[in-house]
Chain A
């Protein structure tokens, strides 16, 4: 079908915006712009603090951060298993596979997990060179790496590059993450900074903070896990 050239309202909308912004809006209930004195307050030359100052606090050492990540994960019903080495990762996966009667898993190749996944002897659908959606949907678990683990919120930051694309971490019913202990960061700001810098200075085109297994409260506000995404989320922390 041959359609008319697409013309949109860009110029009209921008003109309306610029016209509207000719008048300044009062800044009620908010911080005055830096350097401006408000009634009763001296001029404040500095910026108005960073979110870190007001958000839930995060401890300083890696051990404490990992402990907070574990605590938050428990509240969210994410299972965290500490593994001493790659062999322990393989053992943990095999244990879950046995308990849940997994027939096949889907995974991508990443340094942290590749050999441990191979060692499980489970049939694996590798997604790296593309995959069939039906195969991914019918896999019992998706095993991925991650960008980092966020202590403050119990979140896992996945990106297309670190976690086998956009669907592997959300389509199979059980999502298993393999991460190194050193991947635990303090808060969301740090995690975003990691995402921005670990890909040559530009943020990847897909990032997602995963915080617990998929959930809904849409029926009588009662929590149900596994609404559309994974019903279970397991994080294997190595080292």
Chain B
């Protein structure tokens, strides 16, 4: 992590990536295919818009009765022998997981994709306590080898070309050169097969936590989460408290919604519900299952009724895929675990408004995110609310005076009539300073034209027009 302030880092990286045409090409190609497939799947729904509303209803019910459903979930999953640990923050969660590892003599961990794990830096914490951690999701494995964070919450390596992936495989795994996605995938498959069979602990996230039956639900395509949760003798699932849904039947709606919005699939390849460790009469499965319920400032977001629906998020990544800002600045520029519109909305709540308010300004407020969200989170209005909250929390004195002056001028027609021609005179001198160091509008004019004042006002035009009749 750089020592730069988050906003400086964002501006620096956004500036660089925006001009990177190779990056743009990769992203456009990847997302172009996604749009086509997503629309094909949406078209299969009898009514996609109604399905969105219903999915939003399900999450509204869950989040607004979070205490009730969490307790129900914990009681049900504990009854089948899973151990539940409630963690206030990442430090508590990591300490507990490291303790489980220590007490069971765990040497190696196979991890399937968990953004919540990324959020609390679980991998580095385990490595620090002497445990080997291997990411099993292909995209996560690639970015782990490159020692960089995931680029996108669903497609962690979408910014890389096959050449770059081959380069890191050759360098870190000593593999033979490969130039097709298929060959590269098979190299990772070979490496991982052994890890599944020998790892002492499997770590997963959860896409949903089902209250009535006490199960976590994991959505994936590769099979790595199934293997990571079936073979090692300990399974640890790290679950944000907002993942709760009331009933098992709700999955019949949410699994297709997640897959359609997230990846343009009707349903992903594996959707697995796990309600405890190996049960009496079962052939296999882990001896221990631990569920870590993580708060980590989610209750702070819950306490803001205006933006509470941001907790409805099912992390499909659809808002990233349609966001003009994401497509230009890329996932790494955000400097956050969660990128794109949803990341810009929730990061200020999770990590401090004043340090992360710049993300809410990095938006054209086009509303594409809100329109695409499968659970109808009011994303672009939340960006506006973050802007408002940021300025209310830390008002800028000069801005206040600027508005006072504007107010004074605009409410005095006689003064305005005087001032307008003065503005036009001033304007005629402006080209002398435009785009120079003394240009008062330099941040704007660096990439844009400054709008010119019209040569005459509407009022003057109207007067002239009536005169000539």
Compute how far the CA of A215 lies from the CA of B263 in the bound complex, rounded to whole angstroms.
12
Residues of chain B within 8 A of A131, CB atoms compared = 283-284
Tell which of B160, B266, B281 touches A56, judged by Cβ atoms closer than 8 Å: B266
Interface residues in A89-131 (C-beta closer than 8 Å to B): 108, 127-128, 130-131
Q: Which residue of B lies closest to A226 (CB)?
A: B189
Produce 1/0 per residue, A158-170, CB < 8 A to B.
Answer: 0011001111101
Question: Least Cβ distance of B120 to chain A in Å?
Answer: 14
Residues of chain A within 8 A of B439, CB atoms compared = none
Asked whether any CB of chain A lies closer than 8 Å to the CB of B230, the reply is yes
Compute how far the CA of A189 lies from the CA of B121 in the bound complex, rounded to whole angstroms.
36
Residues of chain A within 8 A of B269, CB atoms compared = 210-215, 229
Interface core residue of A55, A187, A188 (most chain B CB under 10 Å):
A55
Tell which of B63, B65, B283 touches A108, judged by Cβ atoms closer than 8 Å: B283
Interface residues in A25-57 (C-beta closer than 8 Å to B): 25-31, 48-49, 51, 53-57
Asked whether any CB of chain A lies closer than 8 Å to the CB of B80, the reply is yes
Asked if A166 contacts B197 (CB within 8 A), the reply is: no
Residues of chain B within 8 A of A160, CB atoms compared = 279, 282-283, 285
Asked whether any CB of chain B lies closer than 8 Å to the CB of A182, the reply is no
Asked if B241 contacts A13 (CB within 8 A), the reply is: yes
Asked if A53 contacts B47 (CB within 8 A), the reply is: yes
Question: Least Cβ distance of A231 to chain B in Å?
Answer: 9
Asked whether any CB of chain A lies closer than 8 Å to the CB of B273, the reply is yes
Asked whether any CB of chain A lies closer than 8 Å to the CB of B417, the reply is no
Known contacts: A205-B80, A211-B268, A228-B192. The answer to whether A17 contacts B299 by CB under 8 A is yes
Asked if B67 contacts A210 (CB within 8 A), the reply is: no
Asked if A18 contacts B67 (CB within 8 A), the reply is: yes
Asked whether any CB of chain B lies closer than 8 Å to the CB of A230, the reply is yes
Chain A interface SS verdict (over half): loop
Compute how far the CA of A13 lies from the CA of B294 in the bound complex, rounded to whole angstroms.
9
Q: Which residue of A lies closest to B34 (CB)?
A: A221
Asked if B181 contacts A220 (CB within 8 A), the reply is: yes
Asked if A54 contacts B66 (CB within 8 A), the reply is: no
Q: Which residue of B lies closest to A132 (CB)?
A: B197
> How many residues of chain A are within 8 Å of chain B by beta carbon?
86
Q: Which residue of A lies closest to B226 (CB)?
A: A170
Q: Which residue of A lies closest to B157 (CB)?
A: A218
Residues of chain B within 8 A of A128, CB atoms compared = 283
Compute how far the CA of A18 lies from the CA of B65 in the bound complex, rounded to whole angstroms.
9
Asked whether any CB of chain B lies closer than 8 Å to the CB of A137, the reply is yes
Interface residues in B57-87 (C-beta closer than 8 Å to A): 57, 60, 63-67, 70-71, 80, 85-87
Produce 1/0 per residue, B178-207, CB < 8 A to A.
Answer: 000110111011001100110000000000
Asked if B47 contacts A29 (CB within 8 A), the reply is: no
Q: Which residue of A lies closest to B281 (CB)?
A: A161
Asked if B221 contacts A164 (CB within 8 A), the reply is: no
Asked if B251 contacts A31 (CB within 8 A), the reply is: no
Asked if A216 contacts B221 (CB within 8 A), the reply is: yes
- Having A167-B226, A215-B222, one finds 17 other A-B pairs with CB under 8 Å, namely A1-B102, A10-B86, A17-B67, A17-B302, A25-B306, A31-B53, A55-B45, A57-B46, A130-B283, A153-B266, A165-B283, A202-B213, A206-B285, A208-B272, A228-B193, A229-B223, A229-B226
Q: What are some 28 contacts across the A-B interface (CB < 8 A)?
A: A1-B103, A3-B99, A12-B88, A13-B293, A17-B70, A25-B309, A29-B376, A30-B56, A30-B57, A55-B46, A128-B283, A154-B266, A170-B230, A192-B248, A192-B251, A203-B273, A208-B270, A209-B255, A216-B185, A218-B138, A219-B138, A219-B142, A219-B184, A224-B185, A227-B223, A228-B193, A229-B227, A229-B269
Among all A-B residue pairs, the 7 with the closest Cβ atoms: A229-B223, A165-B283, A227-B222, A218-B139, A51-B253, A20-B303, A166-B230
Q: Which A residues lie at the B interface, using CB under 8 A?
A: 1, 3, 6, 8-10, 12-14, 16-21, 23-31, 48-49, 51, 53-57, 72, 108, 127-128, 130-131, 133-134, 137, 153-155, 160-161, 164-168, 170-171, 187-189, 192-193, 196, 202-222, 224, 226-230
